[in-house]
C-alpha cells in the first residue's frame, strides 16, 4: 500500500477501443478505419495516472469488472504507482469500455458503456473512507453515479478537503453538489450546458464563472482548448494562455489538465501557477495518440 497519498481520485476506469478515420461517419454510413488500438482509459483513471506521472501521490477509488479488462487495469494502476486499496472487482458487472473514433485533425467522438463504474456506490466509499480522510485534494468526475459523487464531495468538504469537480460528461448538478465543491473545471461545451452561456471571450467566461460562484463554488476554471483556460478566483480573473502545438489526438487533454491541476495544488502551487502547469501538461498530451498513452511525465514538462 502506498502510504501518504495527497490526492484521491474517485471515478471511472475503462478500456478504450480506438479507431482512427479520415472523417466522422454520417448516420448510417460505414467507413474503413486506418487502425485499431486498445488503450487504458476512463476519466477517473486518466486523471489519476496524469496526477501520478506529473509527481502527485495518488490513490484511486474505482470499481472494475472481475474480467480480463479489470485485472489488466489494476496491474496498470500498480505500474503507475497508484494506491489501489480502494479499487474493487465486481463479480456481476463487466468493466467499463469506451468506443472512440478519432478523425485526421485529432478531434474525437466517444461512446461509453459504464458497466461496473455504475456500481461504485456509497458503501464502497464508506469501506475505504480512510482514503478520503488521508487526502488533501479530492478529484471527481461524472462517469460514476451522481449519488456517489455528491456523497464524496459532502464528506470531503466536511473534512476541510479541496474538492475539484470535472463535470464531464455533462450532467445537471444539484445545488447541494455545487455547495460541496471548492473548484469546478468545465470545458466550453460543459459550461454552456450548465449555465446556458456561450463562451465567446473573457466577458462571457466571467459571466459563466459568476454563475458558479453564485452557487458557492470558490474557484472556476473553464478550459478553452488551444486558447488555454479562464481562471476566476476571489483574487484573480483572466485567461491563462497555453503553448501552441500541433494536435493529433485530443482524447485525454481534459483529463491530463485535471490530473495536473490536482498535483499542482497538492504541491502548494497557487491557482495561477497550477493552471499554467496544467495547460502545459494538456498541450503535450494532444501531440500523442491515445488516452493514458498520451499523458506526459513530469520530466517531459522541463519544470
Helix (H, G, I), strand (E, B) or coil at 224: coil
pTM of the entire structure? 0.91
Domains of the chain as residue ranges with CATH? 7-24+33-293 (3.40.1190.20)
Q: List residues forming the annotated binding site.
A: 14-16, 42-46, 143, 187, 223-228, 249, 251, 254-255, 279, 285, 288, 290, 294
Active-site option among 103, 175, 235, 255: 255
Q: CB-based burial of residue 98 (10 Å sphere; 0-12 exposed, 13-18 middle, 19+ buried)? A: buried
How many whole angstroms separate alpha carbon 122 and alpha carbon 125?
5
Closest CA to 220 of 193, 185, 255: 185
In this structure, what are the phi and psi dihedrals at residue 188, rounded to the nearest 5 degrees? -65, -40
Query: Which regions of the chain are under pLDDT 50?
Result: 1-3
Mode of pairing for the β-strands spanning 229-232 and 219-223: antiparallel
255 is catalytic: yes
Output the known binding site for ATP: 187, 223-228, 254-255, 279
User: Is the link from the previous residue into 229 a cis peptide, with omega within 30 of 0?
Assistant: no
Tens-digit pLDDT profile for residues 77-111: 999 999 999 999 999 999 999 888 989 887 888 88
**In this predicted model, what pLDDT tens digit does every residue of 188-235 receive, in sequence order?**
999 999 999 999 999 999 999 999 999 999 999 999 998 999 999 999
Interhelix angle for 43-53 vs 253-266, to 10°? Answer: 50
Q: Are 167 and 184 in contact (CB under 8 A)?
A: yes
pLDDT at residue 303, as a whole number:
58
Angle at 140 between CA 198 and CA 162, to 5 degrees: 100
Query: What residue has cell string 485485472?
Result: 71
Paired sense of beta strands 14-20 and 96-102, if any:
parallel
Amino acid at each position: 500500500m502506498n502510504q501518504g497519498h495527497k490526492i484521491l481520485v474517485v471515478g471511472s476506469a475503462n478500456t478504450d477501443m480506438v479507431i482512427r478515420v479520415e472523417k466522422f461517419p454520417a448516420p448510417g454510413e460505414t467507413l474503413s478505419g486506418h487502425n485499431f488500438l486498445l488503450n487504458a482509459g476512463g476519466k477517473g483513471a486518466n486523471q489519476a495516472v496524469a496526477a501520478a506521472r506529473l509527481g502527485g501521490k495518488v490513490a484511486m477509488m474505482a470499481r472494475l469488472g472481475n474480467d480480463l479488462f479489470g485485472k489488466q487495469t489494476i496491474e496498470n494502476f500498480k505500474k503507475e504507482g497508484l494506491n489501489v486499496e480502494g479499487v474493487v472487482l465486481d463479480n456481476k458487472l463487466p468493466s467499463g469500455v469506451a468506443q472512440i473514433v478519432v478523425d485526421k485533425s485529432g478531434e474525437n467522438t466517444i461512446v461509453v458503456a459504464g458497466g461496473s463504474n455504475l456500481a461504485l456506490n456509497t458503501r464502497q466509499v464508506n469501506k475505504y473512507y480512510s482514503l478520503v480522510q488521508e487526502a488533501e485534494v479530492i478529484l471527481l468526475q461524472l462517469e460514476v453515479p451522481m449519488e456517489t459523487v455528491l456523497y464524496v464531495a459532502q464528506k470531503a468538504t466536511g473534512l476541510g478537503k479541496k474538492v475539484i469537480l470535472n463535470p464531464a460528461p455533462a450532467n445537471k448538478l444539484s445545488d447541494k453538489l455545487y455547495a460541496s465543491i471548492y473548484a469546478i473545471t468545465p470545458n466550453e461545451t460543459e459550461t454552456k450546458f450548465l449555465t446556458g452561456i456561450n463562451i465567446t471571450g473573457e466577458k462571457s467566461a466571467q459571466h459563466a464563472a459568476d454563475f458558479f460562484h453564485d452557487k458557492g463554488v470558490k474557484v472556476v476554471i473553464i478550459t478553452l482548448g488551444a486558447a488555454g483556460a479562464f481562471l476566476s478566483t476571489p483574487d484573480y480573473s483572466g485567461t491563462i494562455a497555453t503553448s501552441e502545438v500541433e494536435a493529433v489526438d485530443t482524447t485525454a487533454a481534459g483529463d491530463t489538465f485535471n490530473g495536473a491541476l490536482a498535483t499542482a495544488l497538492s504541491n502548494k502551487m497557487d491557482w495561477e501557477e497550477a493552471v499554467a502547469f496544467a495547460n502545459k501538461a494538456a498541450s503535450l498530451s494532444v501531440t500523442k495518440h491515445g488516452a493514458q498513452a498520451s499523458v506526459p511525465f513530469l520530466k517531459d514538462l522541463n519544470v
